[in-house]
Structure 1
Amino acid sequence: MSLSTTTPTRSEATPADGSAPLRIAMVAPPWFELPPRGYGGTEAVVASLVDGLVDRGHRVTLVASGAHRTKAQRYHRVYPVTPTERLGDPLPEVINAAQTARVLAGAEFDIVHDHTLAGPLLARSRKQPTVVTMHGPVDGDNGDFYERLGSSVDVVAISDAQRRINPRLNWVGTVHNAIDVPSFPYRADKDDYVLWLGRFSGQKAPDEAIRAARAAGRRIVLAGKLNEAPEREYFDARVAPLLGPDAEYVGEADAALKRELLAGAQALVFPIQWDEPFGMVMIEAMACGTPVVATRRGSVPEVVEDEVTGIVVDDLDEVPAAIDRARLLDPAAARRRAEELFDIPVMAARYERVYRMLVEGTASIRDLTRRSEAAVTRHSGASSPR
């Protein structure tokens, strides 16, 4: 483990509106590099946000692991090599939080944006606001955890659908995820296949994507992560028996292959069976001019404009016909929607508004709330029977 600090030389921009730059501590999970070379949805968003904020003139200090390939002016490396193989082990998260505490103790920041699980436990002791983006579930144990953190963290949703699942969290806004749209190749002419891209699980339903494509008489290409035991078990039991000349698995797609596959596909088939808070692959497809055929779950209706940038269906039985209809949609409309709503500058500007609201507008209210909570806790403890 390394506790090093690097200070790359960067151009010092200032915010275009003339306001003072914000000093932002950005805390990433330790599991994958930023940006990730393959799988790593949260890390891809964090890397994009860092670059977008620096481009807007802010000062970003990044706490992460592995190689430093973002525009952050300062970088604190926790692990020299990301401990990906230990994913699920709590200790790397705890060490990441401990290093974050050291970084915050040694410098002045206006705001902390923490994307980890363990890090927000330290938020109550900080003088700066701590923003937490909910990249994962907001119900079950995960939701219970953030409910118990109360007003010590200011929570941002990645979709309105996610917010509706658990209104008890200390929500301060919704900011959709984003990608570097110009880095995705736009193609109006498509090849002879549809695409499924994701993680092999029942929630993502790759087997249903194969059945739908086959019913529509279309060849399907599948690419996805297949390195954890549950993923392999699902693939062997539910997907492998369906593969054939018209259904091909090509492995996990790196950044280059993902772009090639998305740009060439006639449609992205996204038959999710859970309320996914946000599906990055949907906006990646639209950036390539590829329509999305998806079930009406989670954030899908917020991301896909039905009958314009894709087809949204209520039932799996409707997917084959939707794959056929998707051929009639204008690829340029999908690209425009990605540029207007899901590009990095859009996401960075929205997060900046959240930061400024917290730093400039609600600090005194937050302090009052925390003092009230502390008083209630002390009173409760004093009157508890022993």
Structure 2
Amino acid sequence: MRIVHVVPNVIPIPGSGGIERIAYLLSNELVRRGHEVYVYALAGSQSNAIIIPYGHRGFSKHNIKDFVIHTLPDNVDVIHDHTHSLVIGREKLNIPTVSTIHTEWGFEIKVKCPVYVSKTSLLQSKNGSPGSYVHNGIDLDGYTLEKKKDDYLLFLGRIEREKGVLDAVRLAERTGMRTIIAGPVWDKELYREICQRMAKAPNISYVGEVHGEQKQYLLMHAKWLLFPTACEEQFGLVLVEALACGTPVAAYGRGAVPEVLQGLPQFICNDLDDMKRLIKRDSPFSPEKLREYVALRYTKEKMTDEYLKIYWRAIRGWE
């Protein structure tokens, strides 16, 4: 099959964002299985697929649409649109186009073949077209199981209100437990507020945006990953990454979180007091059990299996 992926023009793949990593893993796995895969992405992107680079950082969504339409390889079987605004899926091209709605920004956009990253998101959407869903997957071999945990809590995510970082800070203040905050700053005003609170709480530290080995180390050794999300999460990839390292998670049950943690309901918290009670205890599951949970549900191989079914459904007309 000849497959084209179109990713956002924000950062090169594999990048640090969930969309870029998913597109990277999926395209590589499709190549490994013998498919011919092209990926439209920023220059500097890495993939086993053939990269078609955008002209420059800062393309608008209209630039992406025009650039892709005018440079498509011949005889493409299916296009997979990962862009925030689904700029290719909404064009109604003659080529079957699958549109993954990675964020809530795409909920109201009308496309023929919408795919959500959770069943929860599918049920919440008002797209109007009969959609489907495919859970995100990770490269399990890229995450190391660590049985011995250090005595710290970890928040790993964007520094913005919808990710709930302020509740992670409040939890650290109430418990006095060592807490590491990691992630890019998206809300500077919120970041300043957090810095003021950290100045009064020496048990809290901010280490910036982390990638690669540093991110892996933090996930592996944390006693608990904190996920006090304040929004309707579409999936929550960091939950799966932590579990793959054998690290338990303490999460608010918003959006797709109960779906992702369906087999681990003990990790779902109703509020901050509930989360405080949970992280004061040891995990009810061994690190090995947590990794096994991911291996059975959220791998790149399983994700690719499901997307191949989706591609054939699109080629056959989607009905």
With the shorter chain as reference, the TM-score category is over 0.9
C-alpha distance in 1 between matches for 2:18 and 2:282: 26
The answer to whether 1:108 aligns with 2:94 is no
Contact 1:137 1:277 in 2 (8 A): yes
Deviations 1:335-379 (A, max 9, x none): 11111211111111110011112213x36x6xxxxxxxxxxxxxx
Among 15, 21, 35, the residue aligned to 1:44: 21
Q: Which amino acid aligns with 2:96?
A: P
Among 161, 164, 167, the residue aligned to 1:205: 164
Question: How big is the shift at 1:222?
Answer: 0.5
C-alpha distance in 1 between matches for 2:128 and 2:5: 21
Question: How big is the shift at 1:75?
Answer: 2.2
Paired residues for 1:59-74 under 5 Å: 59-72=36-49, 74=50
Contact 2:86 2:99 in 1 (8 A): no
C-alpha distance in 2 between matches for 1:342 and 1:213: 30
Number of the residue aligned with 1:77: 53
Q: Quick one: structure 1 residues 135 and 247, their matched pair in 2 at CA, closer, same or farther if it must change by over 3 Å?
A: same
Among 63, 66, 81, the residue aligned to 1:95: 63
Bigger-Rg structure (1/2): 1
C-alpha distance in 2 between matches for 1:216 and 1:161: 33
Give the superposed CA RMSD.
1.9
Question: How big is the shift at 1:326?
Answer: 4.5
- Is the helix fraction higher in 1 or 2? 1
Among 177, 182, 196, the residue aligned to 1:218: 177
Number of the residue aligned with 2:202: 245
Among 310, 313, 317, the residue aligned to 1:357: 313
Question: How big is the shift at 1:63?
Answer: 1.1
Number of residue pairs matched? 316
Q: Which amino acid aligns with 2:11?
A: F
Deviations 1:279-337 (A, max 9, x none): 111111011110110011011111124657x6101222211011123434211111111
Paired residues for 1:1-386 under 5 Å: 22-36=1-15, 39-72=16-49, 74-79=50-55, 83=57, 86=58, 91-104=59-72, 106-116=73-83, 117=85, 119-120=87-88, 123-124=91-92, 126-137=93-104, 142-144=106-108, 146-147=109-110, 149=111, 153-226=112-185, 228=186, 231-237=187-193, 239-243=194-198, 244-305=201-262, 307=264, 311-360=267-316, 362=317
Number of the residue aligned with 1:8: none
Contact 1:154 1:172 in 2 (8 A): yes
Q: Which amino acid aligns with 1:51?
A: N
Contact 1:112 1:128 in 2 (8 A): yes
Provide the TM-score with structure 2 as the length reference: 0.93
C-alpha distance in 2 between matches for 1:161 and 1:50: 25
Q: Quick one: structure 1 residues 164 and 337, their matched pair in 2 at CA, closer, same or farther if it must change by over 3 Å?
A: same
Question: How big is the shift at 1:58?
Answer: 1.4
Q: Which amino acid aligns with 1:300?
A: V
Q: Which amino acid aligns with 2:297?
A: L
Q: Quick one: structure 1 residues 307 and 214, their matched pair in 2 at CA, closer, same or farther if it must change by over 3 Å?
A: farther
Q: Which amino acid aligns with 2:227?
A: F
Question: How big is the shift at 1:210?
Answer: 2.2
Contact 2:76 2:95 in 1 (8 A): yes
C-alpha distance in 2 between matches for 1:306 and 1:240: 36
C-alpha distance in 1 between matches for 2:146 and 2:114: 37
